[in-house]
Structure 1
């Protein structure tokens, strides 16, 4: 459960970053290009559905339930039973709202890609290789993120040391 939760959070963070980048770029687009055709939106949604192999939405709402439980239970240990039931009910309510989020994702892709490009993307992800890639993304993203964490940690240490060495070369002690 822990690796699944971390994977879901990693994917959620990556998609949130993509969405935020997309919305930051929207004002720079012309009004005409921001209008999305139904065909583009349908293709973009198909792509989102084809690549939802990691259960991003489900993992995210489960994580919200876990965090809520971890926040409320220590304050009131006697409410464990009712808290479990309340979280289950809210999880159940949210399970039916996946489409809302995925429609938003689709809008982002429909703005950034032409109908022709979206069709090529859907064609690829409908192929056996595309499906294999989509399924492996959930597994590989965790490994890639761990590699990035090590890289970032090493980079921070090396970068700091290099800046201090540069300053020292200029006669500045830090």
Structure 2
């Protein structure tokens, strides 16, 4: 078990480095269009309304659950006797993420607001099947790649943070991992 600790440390350092690198790449990618186009709060709110209307919520919940699964898979082999408290700790941490999908959805809305003018966002929200809605359909492939980058950064950061919180929950129960 002690032999796994250096590998765990290296894995955490690599994950942290990867998260930082992805954050820098994403920041540079998303920030470039912002310099040439100002986004008003109303425009961003309309894009956020589109995100809410198109029910992307499954993405957030699935990512949180996957972080729980990844954490479980990392901790259980090292300490098979802690399966029950580990499950409870993971449930506690998952609960802490409920109601926080807005942070991620705001980032997604920014991607749409950078792509569509405020008037277009209004038309998309009001008339998804209109010609503007079809423009949205054509643009989705490109937008989805940007959203995937946002999700990748979120997932890397979430996995690191989630793992640490589960370990803290276990430590509060007197279990060292």
Q: TM-score range by the shorter chain?
A: 0.5 to 0.7
Q: Distance in 2 between matches of 1:45 and 1:28?
A: 18
Structure number with greater Rg is 1
Q: Which residue, out of 70, 78, 82, partners 1:79?
A: 82
Give matches, 1:15-164, under 5 Å. 24=29, 26-27=31-32, 30-31=35-36, 33=37, 35-53=38-56, 55-125=58-128
TM-score (normalizing by structure 2): 0.54
Query: Is the 8 Å Cα contact of residues 43 and 122 (structure 1) preserved in structure 2?
Result: yes
- Once the two structures are superposed, what CA deviation does each residue of 1:18-51 show, in whole Å capped at 9, x if it has no partner? xx779516325535x1x31111111100111011
Q: How many residues align?
A: 110
TM-fit CA distance, 1:91: 0.2
Query: Is the 8 Å Cα contact of residues 73 and 79 (structure 1) preserved in structure 2?
Result: yes
Q: Distance in 2 between matches of 1:44 and 1:26?
A: 17
Q: Distance in 1 between matches of 2:87 and 2:122?
A: 44
Give 5+ residue unaligned stretches, structure 1.
1-19, 135-174
C-alpha root-mean-square deviation of aligned residues, in Å?
Answer: 2.9
Mark the CA change 1:28 to 1:99 in structure 2 (over 3 Å): closer, same or farther: closer
Give matches, 1:3-22, under 5 Å. none
TM-score (normalizing by structure 1): 0.54
